[in-house]
Amino acid sequence: MDYEAPIVKEFDDIDSDELTPPPVDFRKKAELEKEKAANAIDRIAYQEELQQRVLDSTRYTYGWFKSLLELEMLNTNTNYLNLSLIHI
């Protein structure tokens, strides 16, 4: 009796079944974390730029109010996103 095993062309589904989870793609996870870090750095740089605009501009001018309100909005959004409460 001559038996040949079937040739498997795609190896993606071999490691997963109903009982074991599929393998984790660490490259994709690393890229997502790098993206998150880059976004956080950009957000911090923008906040520093706004703070510098507030310090450099004359008080009670349009630019001063606008920069101050943007800074407050960013701070409020950051604090609001960190809360785990649900408001109805």
- pLDDT single digits (tens) 6-28: 555 555 555 556 777 777 788 99
3-state secondary structure of 84: coil
pLDDT band at 56 (very low <50, low <70, confident <90, very high): very high
The set of residues, in sequence order, having a beta carbon less than 8 Å from that of 16 and lying 6+ positions away, is: 22, 23
Written as one letter, the residue type at 48 is E
3-state secondary structure of 5: coil
As a whole number of angstroms, the distance between CA 31 and CA 88 comes to: 36
Query: Does the structure show a pLDDT above 70 at 79?
Result: no
Average of per-residue pLDDT across 26-36: 93
